[in-house]
Amino acid sequence: MTEAQQTATMAAQVRDFTKLSLADAEEAGGKGANLGELVSAGLPVPPGFVLLRDCYRVSMRAGGVAEELAELHRRALGVIADSDELTTLCRQMADLVAKAGVADEVRTELLAAYHRLGDNVAVAVRSSATGEDGRDASFAGMNATLTDITGDDELVDAVLKCWMSLFGPRVVAYRASRGFEAEPAMAVVVQRMVTSQRSGVAFTADPSSGDREHVVIEGAFGLGEVVVSGLVQPDTYTVDKATLKELDAHIGHQDFQIVRGADGHDRNEPLSPEQADARVLDGAALHRVAELAVAVERHHGTPQDIEWAVDPAGDTWLVQARPITTLGNGGPAVGTELARGLAAAPGTASGTVRVLRSPDEGGQLVDGEILVAPMTNPDWLPTLRRAAAVVTDAGGMTCHAAIVARELGVPCVVGARSATKDLEPGTVVTVDGTHGKVLAGAAAAPTVKAEDRPAAPAGPAAEVTATRIYVNLAMPDTAERVAAGDVDGVGLLRAEFILTEALGGRHPHDLIAHGEGDAVVRALVESVGRIAAAFAPRPVIYRATDFRSNEFRKLVGGEAYEPVEHNPMIGYRGCFRYIKDPELFNLELQALAQIRESSPNLGLMIPFVRTKWELEECLALVDASPAGRQRGLHRWVMAEVPSVVHWLPEYIGMGIDGVSIGSNDLTQLMLGVDRDSEICAEVFDEADGAVLDAIGRIVSTARTHGITSSLCGQRPSTDPAFAEKLVAMGITSISVNPDAAPAARHTVAAAERRLLLESTRT
């Protein structure tokens, strides 16, 4: 190929927005193709161009690193569960990209296209990876975006940083979770910067409810980075899609804005108290943003997530658009409402109703059917695994069905009262676990099986938080998938479900009585060991079996070992049970000792500790066991009983070095409300002043004595104010269900930033 031919070929790989459309998504990536499509629709888009992905490939080949990159990437896909190895490989790949640099022929065409935009203009440089910003996956925030880039050298360096971001650990893990196993390549968008006086995002369907009749718009002053990164509380407007009339406005609070400084770089500019609480969009500006958002949706024919900016002249620009990828998990109501309960596990699934009265009937459930039952206990687990969704008559947000469904990624509605009567066996329904509804007919979107769901990394961009984000786990099946995500360990590993499934529905004491106690140890070593290994070296805190007589009496042989209690929730369980009947607890300690020989990151948590003397006797059992004689065994207690507020200093003096606040049980006992009661659900409030006071005193005591404090519960990931209170208290970590970990990280990060800003002003 002649030099002239090479130049022409490379020029074709640097393409103006006006020459791109959705058909070019493979070469231009999602961002680049979407911007070209907006331009072709005649919508206002700042001018720019895209380096197609072959520019990256040419540069890697010219730099002599292409083959080594491919080999390292193949190795990285095989070690997703090993965070240390994955991080090492990703660092090596990014270093190779930096070593290769931008090939001379690519640099020539890049700078030629840049100069066509003007003389030394400021541009935004955004990664546009293949598969990014598509209908089925969004890499939102995972790859690099650089703003206010000026000059040739800065531009070349920014492009290189985008290419390097292909190999961040979260990006590689997320790519693997979505089945993108081909060797990655990246296009890069270069777009003239808008001097943003106001900016934000617009959704043409409500992302929280799936309502497609409204446009939801978030706005802030300055560059939109403050909105997408959660740095401030933006204004939120709801607009009727048909009439473009404002339906609701929530005016946020913004202490600062990001603007372009005199040196050409972004800087934070404080806002006056009047500006901080001022409305961002007036009627005309709001109407224009909504009008453009609807136009984008009309062009694409599907709900869109749009980024917009308003310049000093008052002109509104669209700087990015992509399909909303999450509506399938919280889509609009379909058909007639047949039943309503508590929204226990998010997602939407359609299938045929199968009403079962007991786990013995579990064999009747065909894979993909909707399980409808009066209530579920641990021995329902094999049946729950095969269900497309779960609906129960009884139960609250912390019942067995809710816990397991959230971990399996199965939509679930609990406390529907008469679902077993209202839902006709054999009929097709849609279970909306996001809103607690069961609707007649099938949803438009296909059911997503649990094993096909994205891994935990499929959330917002990775954020560093001082407060650790742990997960709650109950089964080993999901360990590797969850461990590949942005989580800091396991704050609560429940033993009950592991034992129930591994022992084939037999009560552990039935096995012990028949001389088969070793089976209990083997089951725990295999399952708990798998989880500990997947998360190593991150901590995994194993909560010893917290039997409740009503749940385990129905297991095979259970009637011989479980008393009949009127109030099992506050009965024969936890620490008291270990000292009265230590056989099973001793087997658990044997298993922990075996696991810790290869996974010393495993710790022990004692649940439901009521009194000092109980814990003394329980810790004596631990000290006498093989696990107790090992060095470095962390001993935690769960703070579920209000008496822990008084006794915690004594517990710490006895060797306890971690406390985990079980907010569900603590709320139950503080407020005297059954946590599993759908009737009293509105009384159950973890943010009640009395509960918060107890939590605050526990955290304060832990801080004073220098031990770890944590909280197990979903509230921090769904309630920013609650999360901020925990962060302000100085809690060490928060442990949530795996599906809520990304949201919890984002919420905690925002809370930490707000508290930091407040501290700097005082």
Q: Which of 154, 499, 550 is nearest to 375 (CA)?
A: 550
- Give the span between the Cα atoms of 355 and 371, in whole angstroms: 6
Q: How many other CB atoms are there within 10 angstroms of residue 361's CB atom?
A: 13
* 214, 400, 507, 746: the active-site residue: 400
DSSP secondary-structure letter at 233?
A: B
The structure tokens listed for 690 are 């009395």
- Give the span between the Cα atoms of 23 and 45, in whole angstroms: 19
- Give the span between the Cα atoms of 20 and 26, in whole angstroms: 11
Q: Give the H/E segment covering residue 636.
A: strand 635-639
DSSP secondary-structure letter at 394?
A: S
The label of the residue with tokens 């136009």 reads 295
The label of the residue with tokens 């129905």 reads 554
- Give the span between the Cα atoms of 705 and 53, in whole angstroms: 55
The structure tokens listed for 140 are 């939102």
Spacing of C-alpha 317 from chain mean position: 31
Does the active-site annotation cover 575? Answer: no
- Give the span between the Cα atoms of 347 and 370, in whole angstroms: 13
β-bridge partners, 370: 353, 389
754 burial level (CB within 10 Å; 0-12, 13-18, 19+) = buried
* 300, 507, 712, 746: the active-site residue: 712
Q: What angle do CA 403, 407, 412 make, to 5 degrees?
A: 60
- Give the span between the Cα atoms of 669 and 643, in whole angstroms: 10
List CB contacts of 459: < 8 A, sequence separation 6 or more. 486, 741, 742, 743, 745, 746
- Give the span between the Cα atoms of 516 and 151, in whole angstroms: 74
Q: How many other CB atoms are there within 10 angstroms of residue 613's CB atom?
A: 9
DSSP-assigned states of every residue in 545-573:
P---HHHHTTSBTGGGT----S-GGGSS-
DSSP-assigned states of every residue in 673-699:
--TT-STTTTT--TTSHHHHHHHHHHH
Q: What angle separates helix 644-653 from helix 689-705, to the nearest 10 degrees?
A: 10
Q: Which of 507, 346, 522 is nearest to 431 (CA)?
A: 346
For 114, 146, 302, the CA distances from 491, given in Å and listed in that order, are 50, 36, 40
Does the active-site annotation cover 253? Answer: no
The secondary structure of 132-184, three-state, reads CCCCCCCCCCCCCEEEEECCHHHHHHHHHHHHHHHHCHHHHHHHHHCCCCCCC
For 674, 692, 713, 714, 747, the CA distances from 688, given in Å and listed in that order, are 15, 6, 15, 15, 20
- Residues serving a catalytic function are 400, 712
